[in-house]
Chain A
Amino acid sequence: MKIIDEKEPALLKRAVRGDEQAFLALYQKHQAPLYRYALRMTGSPWAAEEVVQEVFLLLIREPHKFQPDRGELGAFLFGVTRNRVMKHLERLPREDSLDEINANGTAWREPEDPLTPMMIAEKTERIEQVREAVLDLPAEFREAVVLCELEELSYEEAARACGCPVGTIRSRLHRGRALLLAKLELLRDAPRRASAGAR
């Protein structure tokens, strides 16, 4: 359908005038990455859902806030999402964990893996620990980890998304990694491995 090829500002204009198809084209393009970011940052499907809804409601109600000459629509939407997520994190301590039934009504699931039930259980537990550890990081370090390690953005992309220099992102990521490793007690294992390796 031609609508996909249309420029986003033009689509947005049509959407604001009430063109449902134009709006859906924009929504479907952007909602998933925004939702995943919000989910990984908040750890709550409900909060992520609310954030995404608020972001697109803002786009419907106050479309003039997006100025095409200042950047892409995706960057604008990410910026709004980020602000909402940060506000959410400031307002509420983490309430829900991702092991709850998620917003689509399905349970958290691991990708299919040809492992024994014991290995699957161990792996699931480890992933759960990692997820908890990520969610326990301070927001700015968590954001760096989410963007650079989970979303696999480059440092430059992450810096642009957060509106800060690359050096700041690298520094936050360094701290985030260190905290994660410490949290998972992998650092405690490291000297032991080192001494075992030395022998």
Chain B
Amino acid sequence: MMKCEEFEFLGLDMDRADARPEEAAAAAEHAAGCARCSALLESWRELKQDLRVLHESTRLESAPARVEMRLKQELRTRREARVPHRTARVAAWSFAAAAALAAAAGWAHWRGVSAPTATVSPQVAAVAQSNPDPAAESILLAADYDTGDFTQLPGSMPTASSDQAILQARVQRGALMQFGLPVAPEQATDWVDVDFLVGEDGQPLAVRLHQESQTEAVTQ
């Protein structure tokens, strides 16, 4: 049997949809036999009725339209703010890519043009100037003693002298014929980068084609 204290706590739930059936039954039984709790239940039911009216009167309430307008405005503002931001980001990346490209090109050029310079011996200079092919560009010296992969020129003797130099030049392949090297006639007009190993007397001793030129030659 439910007591009055229990009824005050649980009994007013008896009309709720989620009330436990056994509690609701006990509360109804108690209210039937207790005038005070019955009156309390009646008062609560009146109040509950008023709460329902209050609920109904506000059932269709919703935020005013101006809230929606403000939120839409905020959404648009943020969207517009994002567009320049995106443009700036693209521009920044483009600039960075261009700078990297320029730096790479500059570095490649620097490597090609200003490789460690060696002292130009008068003989080397003379060889460069006395190159019989007018098309030959006798420009630069690379490092001394870089004798790897050189092809001995016909008629020259290998020497162990330390006073040798390498002359880098861009010539037409046909010019190599003057040093006794065989050149296919159809390739005679091709431009190739070559290194001449020049002896202490200023005469070329050996020659090597640059890797790119060799590759080109192979592919051709």
Contact = CB atoms under 8 A, between A and B. Distances in A.
A170 to B, nearest CB: 8
A77 B74 CA distance: 18
A35 interface: yes
B71 A23 contact: yes
B39 interface: yes
Given A32-B63, A60-B78, A127-B50, A193 B58 contact: no
B136 to A, nearest CB: 64
Contact of B54 (A130, A174, A195): A130
A97 interface: no
Interface in A1-40: 15, 17-18, 20, 23-24, 27, 31-32, 34-36, 39-40
Given A24-B68, A56-B71, A197-B38, 4 more contacts: A34-B63, A57-B71, A150-B51, A184-B47
Which applies to chain B's interface (DSSP): helix, strand, loop or mixed? helix
Contacts of A155: 18
From A109, A177, A198, name the one whose CB has the most chain B CB atoms within 10 angstroms.
A177
B140 to A, nearest CB: 57
Given A18-B79, A103-B63, A36 B58 contact: yes
Contacts of A145: 51
Given A49-B63, A52-B63, A131-B54, A18 B44 contact: no
Interface residues of B, number: 42
A194 interface: yes
B71 A186 contact: no
A190 B47 CA distance: 13
A177 B39 contact: no
Interface string B162-189: 0000000000000000000000000000
A194 B47 contact: no
A64 interface: no
Contacts of B157: none
Contacts of A164: none
B159 to A, nearest CB: 75
Query: What is the interface residue range for chain A against chain B?
Result: 35 or more
Given A39-B61, A108-B57, A31 B67 contact: yes
B197 interface: no
A130 B63 contact: no
Contact of B35 (A34, A156, A194): A194
| Nearest 8 Cβ contacts at the A-B interface | A18-B79, A32-B62, A186-B43, A190-B39, A193-B39, A194-B39, A194-B35, A35-B63
B58 A186 contact: no
Contacts of B99: none
A5 to B, nearest CB: 22
B112 interface: no
B24 interface: no
A116 interface: no
B71 A60 contact: yes
From B56, B63, B75, B79, name the one whose CB has the most chain A CB atoms within 10 angstroms.
B63
A193 B42 CA distance: 9
B18 to A, nearest CB: 4
